[in-house]
Chains A and B, each alone.
Chain A
Amino acid sequence: MTEEPVDVLIIGAGASGAAVAYGLAETRMHIVCIEQGDWMKQSEYPTNFMDWEARAAGPFGHSPNHRGRATDYPINEDESPIKVANFNGVGGGTILYAGHFPRFHPSDFRVKTLDGVADDWPIDYDTLAPFYDESDRVTGVSGLEGDPAYPPKPSLMPPLPLGRSGTIMAKGFNAKGWHWWPSDSAIATEPYDGRDQCLNLGACTTGCSQGAKASTDITFWPHAMRAGVELRTRCRVREVTVNNDGMASGAIYYDEDGNEQEIKASVVIMACNGVGTPRILLNSKSARFPNGLANSSGLVGKNLMFHPYAHIFATFPDEVDGPRGPHDCIWSQEFYETDKNRGFVRGFTFEGARGHAPVSIAVNGMLGGQIPWGDGHHEAYRQRANHICGMVAICEDLPEEHNTVTLDPRLKDPDGIPAPKLTYTLSDNSRHMLEFSIERAREVLEAAGATDVQSGYPIVGGGWHLMGTARMGKDPERSVVNEWGRSHDVKNLFVVDGSLFVTSAGVNPTRTIQALALYVADAMKKRLANLFD
Chain B
Amino acid sequence: MTDIISSDSSLNEDDLTALRVIAGTIIPASERYQIPGADDESIFNNIVAIAREQGDDSLKRQLDALQSQCHDRHQCALEELSLQDRVSLLKASGHARFRHRMIRLTANAYYQDGRVLASMDLKDAPPSPAATMYPKVIGHC
Contacts and interface: CB of A to CB of B under 8 A. Distances in A.
Interface of A: 45, 47-54, 57-58, 144, 158-163, 182, 199-203, 209-210, 323-325, 358-359, 361-363, 366-367, 373-375, 377-378, 382, 385
B140 interface: yes
B111 A200 contact: no
B73 interface: no
6 contacts: A50-B125, A51-B46, A144-B137, A163-B134, A362-B27, A378-B35
Q: Which 9 A-B pairs have the closest CB atoms?
A: A161-B134, A199-B131, A362-B107, A200-B132, A358-B111, A158-B140, A47-B128, A201-B127, A324-B132
A210 B46 contact: no
Interface of B: 25-28, 30, 32-33, 35, 46, 50, 53-54, 83, 87, 90, 100, 103-104, 107-112, 114, 117, 120, 122, 125-141
B115 to A, nearest CB: 13
Given A362-B107, A367-B100, 5 more contacts: A54-B108, A199-B130, A367-B103, A373-B25, A377-B26
Nearest to A164: B134
A201 B128 contact: yes
Given A47-B128, A385-B120, A158 B136 contact: yes
A360 to B, nearest CB: 8
A362 B35 CA distance: 16
B126 A366 contact: no
Contact of B126 (A48, A158, A373): A48
Nearest to B117: A358
A373 B128 CA distance: 31
Contacts of B87: 373-374
A199 B109 CA distance: 25
Contacts of B120: 382, 385
Identify which of A52, A210, A324 gathers the most chain B CB atoms within 10 Å of its CB. A324
Contacts of A50: 112, 114, 125-126
B117 A52 contact: no
Given A57-B104, A363-B107, A382-B120, A47 B137 contact: no
Given A161-B134, A161-B135, A359-B108, A210 B129 contact: yes
Contacts of A47: 126-128
Given A47-B127, A57-B108, A161-B135, A374 B141 contact: no
A373 B131 contact: no
A324 B50 CA distance: 25
A52 to B, nearest CB: 6
Contacts of B50: 51, 54
Identify which of A161, A358, A361 gathers the most chain B CB atoms within 10 Å of its CB. A358
Given A51-B46, A199-B132, A363-B103, A158 B137 contact: yes
Main SS class of interface, A: loop
Main SS class of interface, B: loop
Nearest to A56: B108
A130 B60 CA distance: 58
Contact of A374 (B28, B129, B136): B28
A353 to B, nearest CB: 16
A361 B90 CA distance: 21
A373 B27 CA distance: 6
A51 B105 CA distance: 12
B120 to A, nearest CB: 6
B107 A359 contact: yes
A392 B27 CA distance: 30
Contact of A366 (B46, B107, B139): B107
A385 B122 CA distance: 10
Contacts of A144: 137, 139-140
B126 A362 contact: no
A373 B110 CA distance: 13
Given A366-B26, A375-B28, A200 B108 contact: no
A209 B87 CA distance: 40
A382 B112 CA distance: 15
B137 A162 contact: yes
A49 B46 CA distance: 13
A324 B137 CA distance: 15
Contacts of A202: 127, 132
Nearest to B107: A362
Nearest to A365: B107
Nearest to A43: B128
A200 B126 contact: no
Contacts of A323: 127
Nearest to B28: A374
A60 to B, nearest CB: 13
B126 A358 contact: no
A201 B137 CA distance: 18
B25 to A, nearest CB: 6
Nearest to A363: B107
B78 to A, nearest CB: 14
A106 to B, nearest CB: 25
Contacts of A159: 137, 140
Given A182-B137, A374-B26, A359 B111 contact: yes
Nearest to B100: A367
Given A359-B108, A366-B26, A374 B137 contact: no
Given A200-B132, A202-B127, A362 B28 contact: no
Contacts of A361: 111
B88 to A, nearest CB: 11
Contacts of A201: 127-129, 131-132
A498 to B, nearest CB: 30
Given A53-B108, A366-B26, A210 B128 contact: yes
A48 B25 contact: no
A158 B137 CA distance: 8
A385 B127 CA distance: 16
Contacts of A45: 128
A460 to B, nearest CB: 13
A43 B85 CA distance: 46
Contact of A54 (B25, B26, B112): B112
